Structure 1
Amino acid sequence: MSLPASPAPPFFGWHVVAATFLLAAFGWGTGFYGPPVFLYAVVARTGWPVPMVSAAVTVHFLTGAVVVANLPQLYRRFGVPVVTVLGAVLLALGIAGWALAAELWQLFAAALASGAGWVAMGAAAVDRADCALVHPAPSRRARHGP
């Protein structure tokens, strides 16, 4: 007598694909493509000079460059899920700051938050989250030999 075979567990990879798609859509959509829209909206709402608001956009992207350069260390220290969630929170706070800034310093603070958040959530996180969840890291022996 043989026991009936248990069904194979559902493939988890599609959940990862869906999650990384959402990360990409929101992270890239607001963090990469959003600042030119924010620039126009902030100038129209506040009347601030275009060069000053453009400087905040530059700070946004420079902050993102600093964070993405340090993303591997952040992942090792805090883990991919924590960094990604923190990125989402920072991006949300930064976007709210772009919309609500009443003083230029508030705009630059929002740019720091949104710049750090979009790369931690969307840009580099999509690739790293996918790799970390689907492809486990090889053992030390496999990487460095016997």
Structure 2
Amino acid sequence: MSARQTPETPTLRDRATDAFDHSRERAVEAYDAAREKATEAKAKAKDGIDTNPLVALGGGLAIGALIAALLPKTKAEERLLGDAGRKITGTARDAAAAAKEAGREKLAELNITRDAGANAVQSLLNGLRDAAKSSGQAALGTVKKTD
């Protein structure tokens, strides 16, 4: 202990320990807040899927089709599959078109609109955005307080 320190004066080690403890508490709070927001987003997504299951199915199919369309054919696929590959591709394209049409008919029959689907997806995205924003703000707050 130096001449200027009294038993009540916190040492550098004490201050570092306090800062660490405070940061840990804030991190736990941020984690809990993020987990709560994620749970809320999950519940909103589940409600949206329960309300509009065909819209969710259509969204999943659309995402799958988009991914498949973005993946290029390789030379090995072309060489190995040749005519059979082209036939499979044509059949898959026809099946996708039939599924798309059947899905549209069923959605029209159930009076499920594009707007309802867009709203469900937007609600999910908003929940995820809010959870990420809350987590980031809590983490940033912790970092600022320890500086």
What range is the shorter-chain TM-score in? Answer: 0.3 to 0.5
Larger radius of gyration: 2
TM-score by length of structure 2 reads 0.36
Structure holding more helix per residue: 2
TM-score by length of structure 1 reads 0.36
